[in-house]
Amino acid sequence: MSNKAVIIVHSGDMDKLYSALIIANGSLSMGMEASLYFTFWGLERLKKGGLEKGPLSKMNFLGLGKWMVKSRMKKANVAPLEKMMTDFKELGGKIIACEMTMEIMGVKQEQLRTEWIDEYGAVGTYVHEAKNAEITLFI
């Protein structure tokens, strides 16, 4: 088994993206490798200007709930997603974008934050990444 965490980011919800990035950065900090596979609604967050745009998965209330949670997070000094992503890349984290989602949603490479993306792949890429990983999650 290789010391690795592979996480599928299926949801584009803000809180779930936080979970994915915190676990991924925690894994890298514990000396493991980490990969994030962005698919479906998760891929929206890789679009330019899209990282912080996700709604809250529960009690979003047309953005009011998100606004409340964000202000509480600011008070608690929680790092913004942009910093977590920068840390993820600095610590050697790998990002895979799902090609099929790009085709279905009509997303072009130039719409994405390509500086973050290491690979464009499909299910085979995920299985290849995850088959020897000690942690794999679907968020």
Partner 1 sequence: MTTIEVDTRGETCPVPLVECRKALRKAAPGDEVIVTGTHPASKKEIPMACESMGLEIIGIDEENDEWKIRIKR
Q: Is 76 in the site for partner 1 (CB under 8 A)?
A: yes
Query: Rounded to the nearest whole angstrom, what is the least distance from the CB of residue 43 to partner 1 in the complex?
Result: 23
> Alpha-carbon Rg of the chain, whole angstroms?
15
Interhelix angle 81-90/14-29, rounded to 10 degrees, is 30
Stretch that binds partner 1, among 23-31, 34-42, 57-65, 120-128 (CB under 8 A): 23-31
> What is the nearest approach in angstroms of partner 1 to the Cβ of residue 49?
24
Compute φ and ψ for 119, nearest 5 degrees: -155, 150
Told to check if 79 binds partner 1 by CB under 8 A, we report yes
Nearer to partner 1, 30 or 59 (CB): 30
